[in-house]
Amino acid sequence: MSFLSCRAVLCASLALGLSLPGQALAQQKQKKTESIRSGVVEFAPVDRGKGSTIAGNYLAARHASVERDAGAAASFYRSALRADPKNAELLDRAFISTLADGDIDEAVKLAEKILQVDKSNRIARLVVGVRALKQKQYAAAQQNINQSVRGPITDLVAALLSGWAAMGAGDVKVAAASVDKLAGPEWYPIFKDLHIGLMYDLANKPKEAGARLERAYKLDDSALRVVDSYGRWLSRNDKPEAAAAVYEAFDKKLSRHPLVIEGIQEAKAGRKMPPLVSSPQAGAAEALYGIGASLTRRGAEDLALVYLQLALYLEPTHALALLSLGDLYETVKRPQLAIKAYERVPASSLLKRNAQIQLATNLDSVERSEEGIKILKSLTEENPKDIESIMALGNIERGKKKFAECGETYTLGIDALPAINEQSWVFYYFRGICYERSKQWPKAEADLKKALELKPEQPHVLNYLGYSWIDQGTNLDEGMKMIRRAVEQRPDDGYIVDSLGWAYYRIGNYEEATKHLERAIDLRPEDPTINDHLGDAYWRVGRKLEARFQWSHARDLKPEADELPKIEAKIKDGLPDDKEPTAAANEVKKNDKGG
């Protein structure tokens, strides 16, 4: 869950003009490359003399950076730096990679070396300042943090951290003033009011704290950390009903969040909840987490990673920061690192269940599906009404083609739903897929119709039901209309365009089928089924050499096991003579206007 729900101006500001000081981070974000399936890239340093060792480690580090493997990059850069300790570029790159990897103690050592030759390096100043804040050296923390300013984001971070350092020194007035004086974009006030409110709350000044937290809440009542901070304050200041109302209002926007559910329960029980932060270090961690989480969603992953790692350096068990770190690694296609982040969420945290669901999903993505299934089954056994865990379990089972199992799992999900409404369509859709793939068509058809009843014109359901009908040679006219409506909504979805092409094929309109299937191949060139379909269409229009090419390509793309013999037979013998279309197909073909 994010720290703040960015409004338009905040989102735009976070997305634009963000760069990190220092040579390495001033470069544009490196082009993403296709991730290695295992999630791990290993390199062996070249050892052919000093120059070759440096070059080999440097190239390995650069490759690891492209693969977003900060740990490997840091190791290789540091190895190169040991051979050439005065190389400023190696020092800078080693520092940034080490920081991104979360080894803050080692990053501090490198930052101190950088500051010996470049006293203005802002990221080095920030890191040294955060280390001083953690060690309760508040004057040194303020001195270094105040030299780390650069632009709207880094100015805000510096102001908030400097304020928390002043809190550590015991002066809440100075702390509040150092944040209050910051002027800038119109999205600053919510950050300022929240953190000044937290500072006053920590200093046991309830009146001042309440005024600031209420202001932050009025600025954005959909921000989780604002809601939680204000609700906690209300509970401790003899306003339990108001606290419950604040949490319940948020629950209507985003239901069943564990922290909000706990807030509702505690407030209704009349219990006084402690402040959100319990120390200046925790306050600084909260600031770093909040901005880092927002930056992750705005596409500024490099800067977000720095802030999240620093937040976890100050507060290693910050569950929301760990979840945001895992989410960041998912965004940059590093599931192995996401797994490590989710595993760090403490067992005592209310968010452990959320972390376990994400952990299971990432385990599935690195071919450790059975481990993920085991985790999710454990969660659903503990709480048979845990809809999120049930959905995640069903999705993994469906992805692994355990169709009988996933049908049963989605049934558990439907039974656990508090009410059947428009949002319930997805359970019926997914269960319908599982039933269809496990040869239970009457049940599948009923579920797909139910999904459309709940969510009329949903393109994926229209496509699946329409395609299934046409593939079976039934309800051809209605199936064709459904697929057309799906394509109108999703014209660039290769699977849906393929369905339309196959529909034309099934009614014997091979020229129209070829046109749509060629477009589907442009959209999804690596799908074996679409290549197989296009091969069939080519054969029927007399393009037999191209047909065998498409079938060969489909064979090489690893189709499903039961389809492979059929494709190989077509490569050898082609298709049998065309059968006369059914009367229903002729009627559809007669009435159809084409693409």
| pLDDT single digits (tens) 521-564 | 999 999 999 999 999 999 999 999 999 999 999 999 999 898 99
Contact 470, 439 (CB under 8 A): no
Rounded to 5°, angle at Cα 336 from 93 and 299: 60
User: If you average pLDDT over residues 420-444, what whole number do you get?
Assistant: 97
CA 205 distance to own-chain centroid: 39
Average pLDDT over residues 194-216: 97
Of residues 28 and 148, more confidence is placed in 148
pLDDT of 54 strictly over 50: yes
User: What does the pLDDT look like over 438-468, one tens digit per residue?
Assistant: 999 999 999 999 999 999 999 999 999 999 9
pLDDT (tens digit, 9 = 90+) per residue, 122-180?
999 999 999 999 999 999 999 999 998 778 888 999 999 999 999 999 999 999 999 99
Hey, what amino acid is at 552? S
Residue 46 has pLDDT above 50, yes or no: no
pTM: 0.83
Say if CB 127 and CB 109 are below 8 A apart.
no
Q: What is the mean pLDDT of residues 24-47?
A: 30
What is residue 185's predicted lDDT score, i.e. its pLDDT?
Answer: 87
Token pair listed for 214? 């209420």
Residues 108, 111, 116, 120, Cα dihedral to 10°: -130
Kindly report which listed range (40-49, 72-81, 286-295) carries the lowest average pLDDT score.
Answer: 40-49
Q: Which sign, positive or negative, has the C-alpha torsion 249, 255, 258, 262?
A: positive
Q: Is the pLDDT of residue 357 over 80?
A: yes
Instruction: Report the alpha-carbon distance of residue 386 to residue 370 in Å, rounded.
Output: 20
Considering only CA atoms, which of 530, 535, 497 is closest in space to residue 516? 497
Q: For residues 574 and 556, give the distance between their C-alpha atoms in angstroms, rounded to a whole number.
A: 17
User: Which CATH code fits 1-21+151-156+170-315?
Assistant: 1.25.40.10
Give me the percent of the chain exceeding a pLDDT of 70: 88
Is-contact 466 479, C-beta < 8 A? Answer: yes
CA angle, residues 189, 183, 9, in degrees to nearest 5: 55
User: For residue range 97-108, what is the model confidence (pLDDT) as tens digits?
Assistant: 999 999 999 999
| Long-range pairs of 196-199 with CB within 8 A, sequence gap ≥ 24 | 196/163, 197/229, 197/230, 197/233, 198/229, 198/275, 198/276, 198/277, 198/283, 198/286, 199/163, 199/164, 199/167, 199/172, 199/175, 199/283
pLDDT higher than threshold 80 for residue 594: no
Given this chain, do its domains 1-21+151-156+170-315 and 464-595 carry the same CATH topology?
yes
Rg from Cα positions in the chain = 29
pLDDT score of 47: 39
Q: How high is the pLDDT of residue 588?
A: 58
Residue 412 pLDDT greater than 50, yes or no: yes
Give which of 525, 514, 505, 484 is closest to 589, Cα–Cα. 505
Given pLDDT bands bounded at 50, 70 and 90, which one contains residue 582?
low
Most confident of 52-61, 70-79, 308-317, 471-480: 308-317
pLDDT number for residue 581: 60
Per-residue pLDDT reduced to its tens digit, 378-388? 999 999 999 99
Residue 15 scores a pLDDT above 60: no
Residue 419 CB contacts under 8 Å (≥ 6 apart), including other chains: none
Task: Please report the pLDDT score of residue 21 as a whole number.
Answer: 29
pLDDT, position 69: 87
Q: Which fold has domain 464-595?
A: 1.25.40
For 226-235, what is the mean pLDDT?
Answer: 98
Distance set, CA 443 to CA 324, 381, 422, 437, 464 (Å): 40, 26, 20, 11, 14
Sorted by where each begins, the domain ranges of the chain are 1-21+151-156+170-315, 464-595
Neighbours of 560 (CB within 10 A): 10
Residue 298: pLDDT band (50, 70, 90) is confident
